Structures are given as structure tokens and as C-alpha cells.
Structure 1
Amino acid sequence: MQGNWFHGAAVYRCRYPREYALANHLEHPLNVFLQEDILIDPIDTWLAAEIFEPERVEHTLTQLAAAQPDAMATPNLLQRSITECDRKLAEHRAALEAGADP
């Protein structure tokens, strides 16, 4: 689902590519539009009454925390990317200093 404006109203659009429907033997329209104003109340009610009701708040927060990316893996990934960029820059610099055509 993605948010869009359609004829001046906020809508959510589900775009299901034809090839997905064919590959999965499903009949599905290419686009389905749901008006935001008819979704807000049911979603707010569901969130308040089920997901964040006092007895479930801790469980919900635990699930949300568990779904987050590993904070320790991100710096390592970024550092590897920076190291690779530094290596490439050093190679390019060395090539230019050796007379390579920029």
C-alpha cells in the first residue's frame, strides 16, 4: 500500500502488478484505492482496543523492539562501506598520480 492523493482526497493504493497475479493464479485488479477517511477510525480503534490496550502494551513494545534492525550490525556495515570507499579513492588517487587519464 502506498499513500496517494486522488481527486483531492488522501487514499491508499494497492497496486498489484499483473505478472504477480498471473504467476500466482490470482484474479486481482491492477489498482485498488481505499479512502483514508474511511480507514482512520477502524485503524485507530484497533490500535487502541487491541494493540495498545493496557494489558498488551508491554507485549506490543517487546515485539516492536524485536523487529528493529540489529543496532550493532549497522555500524559494522557502515564501517566496511567507508573502508571500501577509502580503498577505491586511494586506488584512483594512485592511478592519477601515476599519470592515468582522468
Structure 2
Amino acid sequence: MDLVCAICQRKMQGTFNNGKPHYRCRYNAEYAKNAALDHPLTVYVREEAILPELDKWIAKTFAPGQLTATLQAMQQAQSAESPTTTAAAAARRTMAECDRRIVQYRAALVAGTDPKLATEWINQAQSEKASARQDLLTATAIQPEILTEDQIKHMVSGLGSMTDRLLATASEHKRPLYESFGLALTLDMQKRVVIVESQPAHACAYGKCPRGDLNPHAR
């Protein structure tokens, strides 16, 4: 399960702290000292603080009794944005963040930061921007079809049948199941919350959602 930092827009790294799995976002200490960013040097988030609540949310959202509400929400989301909007928007945010970092790195260079270190920062940001630009091109080139009401209903019903399997599966084996729900998690450090978005219609469009018989015992 990937967790993105809302401040730097980077995917947090998986690591172990005190023998337990954590997500970590680390910012270069030398740069933070020069640029005075509002980003902590290192942030750790316990995986066990997120997954149980995430599983509860999934079980509630895709429960049979919530099928109508979830179906309506998915239809509204489809009418409000195209299936490529989320991936394209994420790529654009990354590119904008890279531009901001490059400007600050150059300012740090003028302020007296070691030229070799500043050059490394700039090159890294430029590399990340190039990667994000490619992601943007890929996202805008793919035009998955908008799912019909019957397709969404079948998909939501099938995903609902997978919640029992999700709750019974060990944490280290849940990633494929989470991908089926099209999840995107973002850490808001200031509010100390994790924002969860689920776009299973988009996941299906990109081939991640199990189609046909969604009975978890059949997979």
C-alpha cells in the first residue's frame, strides 16, 4: 500500500521502526536547513495505525447495504471527471513541485550552499519532473471507456464480496486486494490525517480490477 506525503508529493518509503512496519518521509537535512521548508526532516507513520481503519472504511463503503449510495457516488465522480483526471492531476502536481524545488535549490546555491550538493538536488528534481511528464503523457493518452450503471453495479457488488477476504488476509498480503479498490492514500501532516480516495472504476479501466466472477474463493 502506497502512502504519499501531501507536502512534497513523494511516495513515502516502507521501513521498519522498533520492529514494526512504518511509512517514512525524509527530507534532506542540508537543504531544509538552507531553504527553511515547512517539511519535518523525518516523519514516521505506523502501518498498524492506518490499515485497520482503512479496512473498516472499505467494509462499510462496499457493504451490500451501502451499494446504492456507493453506486451513486461513483456515477457522480464519473460525470465530474474523466478516468484519466486523477493520474494526470498527480503528474501535474509533481511537475509543479519539482519546479518549486528547482527554484529553491538555485536560491540555496546563491545563498552559499555547496555547489556540488545543490547541483545534485537540481538534477534529482529535473529527473523527477521528466518522469512525471512521461506519466502525464501516458495518462492523457489512455482513454478508458466510461462504465455503465450496470457495470458499476456489478463491480461494486463484486468488490463488496471481497471485503471478507480483505479482513481475513494478513497485512503483508493485502496489496493486490487494495489495488482492486483503486485506493490512493495521502498523508496530511498538519491535520495528522490520512486522506483516502477510492476509484475502482479507474482501476478496472487500467486492468487492475478483477472482472467476471468476483467471488474471492475463485481467485
- What is the TM-score when the length of structure 2 is the normalising length? 0.24
- Which structure has the higher relative contact order (CA within 8 Å, separation 6+)? 2
